[in-house]
């Protein structure tokens, strides 16, 4: 929602908060088959993508989100080779995943091709790995794709979705998590963006319950900052049936053959530490890891 011709503001009415960025100009606007997409040039955060009135990514701070959606899960798995990304049409998470030389295949499945095509124009740095021989990009329903996935065929599933409304609502359901569990190999991990712990604790708590009900025995939420998202405090949640998610490959993180701007071994360990209110909410009614 634009407050004036010079500012864009996402108003989070349920929490009585808003986040605003000064706008230099609107670069693009369209209604795709699935959602309204807007691209702005901002005064201080570079390019900004808005979907259905909600901030999706900016040039300045997207690296935090994309690194935390990919590297913690990959370094919590002993040998991640086949990765599936549901959503993530801006291709930033795909780019981070393909930095890992041990990955043999990374498949991105997004329902809206226009997000990718606009990212190629306005966020080309995020799409730098789109033509990597290991990358497979398809535009289809990720929920249906996961239903049809071969059992035990995937090492890591990354659900890089929008908020749990509209096309993304089904990605937060028990049925979807059951399909993901069936597609994962032993030690397999699912990681999903899980909103703001400060504003959306009910979503995180429901996700933990749905994942455990689906058969994931180990569930952990990681915290990280994200300036342009509501409250500036964001999270992702990892789950596995057999992987306890605490056997992190620290030596491999410290000797990684690529650069990161946010993620490192200390950040990984620190992100797993939860404030007391989250410990209380997520401990209730759950078996200990």
**Tens-digit pLDDT profile for residues 225-244:** 999 999 999 999 999 999 99
Which residue matches tokens 């091709």?
A: 113
pLDDT in the model for residue 165: 58
* Contact status, residue 154 vs residue 186, Cβ threshold 8 Å: no
Q: 96 and 51, same structural domain?
A: no
Provide the 3-class DSSP secondary structure of residue 56.
Answer: strand
CATH number at residue 21: 2.30.140.10
Determine, yes or no, domain membership for 288: no
Phi, psi of 237 (to 5 degrees): -125, 125
Provide the 3-class DSSP secondary structure of residue 154.
Answer: strand
Q: 147 and 106, same structural domain?
A: yes
Determine, yes or no, domain membership for 113: yes
Determine, yes or no, domain membership for 2: no
- What domain range includes position 80? 62-283
Q: 189 and 72, same structural domain?
A: yes
Low-confidence ranges of the chain (pLDDT < 50): 1-3, 285, 287-288
Nearest residue to 68 (alpha-carbon basis) of 275, 262, 245: 262
Which residue matches tokens 């057999």?
A: 242
Catalytic residue of the set 160, 163, 252, 266: 160
Q: 115 and 196, same structural domain?
A: yes
DSSP conformation class of 274: -
* Contact status, residue 105 vs residue 134, Cβ threshold 8 Å: yes
Into how many domains does the chain fold? 2
pLDDT in the model for residue 287: 45
- β-pairing verdict for 154-160 and 184-193: parallel
CA distances from 238 to 73, 219, 244 (A): 7, 6, 10
Q: 155 and 27, same structural domain?
A: no
Give yes or no: 61 in active site: no
- β-pairing verdict for 135-139 and 105-110: parallel
Structure tokens at 270: 């620190």
**Cα separation of 228 and 61, whole Å?**
8
Q: What pLDDT digit, counting tens, does each position of 68-117 carry?
A: 999 999 999 999 999 999 999 999 999 999 999 999 999 999 999 999 99
* Contact status, residue 162 vs residue 193, Cβ threshold 8 Å: no
**Cα separation of 247 and 48, whole Å?**
36
Phi, psi of 136 (to 5 degrees): -125, 120
Quick one: 140 exposed, middle or buried, by C-beta within 10 A (0-12, 13-18, 19+)? Answer: exposed
CATH number at residue 99: 3.40.50.150
Q: 31 and 162, same structural domain?
A: no
Structure tokens at 174: 């028990």
pLDDT in the model for residue 189: 98
Determine, yes or no, domain membership for 289: no
């Amino acid at each position: 929602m634009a407050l004036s011709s010079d500012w864009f503001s996402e108003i989070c009415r349920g929490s009585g908060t808003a986040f605003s960025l000064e706008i230099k100009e609107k670069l693009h606007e369209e209604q795709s088959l699935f959602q309204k997409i807007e691209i702005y040039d901002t005064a201080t955060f570079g390019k900004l993508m808005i979907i259905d009135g909600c901030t999706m990514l900016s040039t300045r701070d997207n690296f935090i989100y994309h690194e935390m959606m990919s590297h913690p899960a990959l370094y919590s798995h002993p040998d991640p080779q086949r990765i599936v990304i549901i959503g993530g049409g801006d291709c930033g998470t795909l780019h981070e995943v393909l930095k890992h030389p041990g990955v043999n295949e990374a498949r991105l499945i997004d329902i809206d091709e226009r997000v990718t095509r606009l990212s190629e124009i306005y966020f080309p740095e995020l799409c730098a790995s789109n033509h990597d021989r290991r990358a497979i990009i398809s535009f289809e329903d990720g929920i249906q794709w996961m239903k049809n996935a071969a059992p035990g065929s995937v090492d890591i599933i990354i659900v890089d979705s929008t908020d749990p409304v509209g096309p993304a609502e089904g990605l937060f359901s028990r049925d979807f998590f059951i399909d993901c569990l069936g597609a994962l190999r032993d030690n397999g991990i699912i990681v999903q963006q899980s909103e703001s712990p400060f504003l959306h604790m009910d979503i995180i708590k429901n996700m933990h319950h749905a994942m455990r009900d689906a058969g994931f025995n180990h569930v952990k939420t990681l915290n990280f900052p994200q300036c342009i998202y509501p409250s500036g405090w964001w999270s992702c949640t990892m789950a596995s049936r057999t992987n306890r998610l605490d056997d992190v490959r620290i030596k491999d993180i410290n000797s990684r053959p690529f650069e990161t701007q946010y993620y490192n071994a200390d950040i990984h360990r620190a992100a797993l530490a939860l404030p007391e209110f989250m410990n209380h909410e997520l401990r209730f009614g759950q078996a200990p890891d």
